[in-house]
Amino acid sequence: MSVTAVGFDLDYTLAVPTRDRETILEEAAAAAGAPQLSREAYLKAHQEHLTNRTRTPIFETLLDKHETAADPEHVATAYRERITDAVVPVDGVAAMLAGLRTTYRVGLLTNGPVVAQEAKLDKLDWHDHFDATLVTGALPAGKPDARAFGALLDALDVEPDETVYVGDSVHHDIAGAHDAGIRPVQVLGEGCDDPDPRAIAHIPRDELPTRLPELLADL
């Protein structure tokens, strides 16, 4: 079946931070009077809280392991502000999305708390770039759960076998889309996973705006 829709991950696929996230986490913790927090522990806690409105539960989990009077909400706010300030679009992505929407239904499915991910979309001014925008903080489950990908398919009103999903994470994006019957395309680059054989194609992130439309046209 020909492709009628394409879905995208956000972070490290369409947009990237200009500064190292570990450094941003350290700065946010210090600004909110919290102890130093590891990026590894943050990512583990983040995975446990993919369906929350804010990052506060993430930092509650992290701070529970320390004797500190730091307020998790304050740490979450400090981190969100710094991440939002650092995020920038991959060159050429906005024009690519506009071009794809002339032919395909285009959706966004991004893991994370609603407030955090919508703040990034506000910064990027991308709310009008998609036919459907889904943040897992507002869903029953996050990627790679099939319910998250099912919600994207429902929002775009398309079938799995006519849909391509583009992302960088093997666990969240490639495996999740593949298991949901969607054709995954893996983005490669700094901060991304190694190529996975379940992807139908592997595209360097800086080449995505030119190579993805060509790939979709050939499917």
Burial 197-214 (b: 16+ CB within 10 A, else e): eebebbbebeebbebbbe
- Contacts of range 65-71, beta carbons closer than 8 Å, 24 or more positions apart: 65/41, 66/34, 66/35, 68/33, 68/34, 68/35, 69/33, 70/29, 70/32, 70/33, 70/34, 70/35, 71/32
**Which among 168, 11, 143 has a CA at the least distance from the CA of 90?**
11
Q: pLDDT by residue (tens digit) across 45-92?
A: 999 998 889 999 999 999 999 999 999 999 999 999 999 999 999 999
pTM for the whole structure: 0.94
pLDDT of res. 72: 94
Distance CA 160, CA 184 (A): 11
Burial class (CB in 10 A: 0-12, 13-18, 19+), 125: exposed
Q: pLDDT by residue (tens digit) across 119-168?
A: 999 999 999 999 999 999 999 999 999 999 999 999 999 999 999 999 99
Residues forming a β-bridge with 173: none
Residue 19's identity, in one-letter code, is R
Residue 17's identity, in one-letter code, is P
Distance CA 6, CA 163 (A): 6
Helix (H, G, I), strand (E, B) or coil at 135: strand
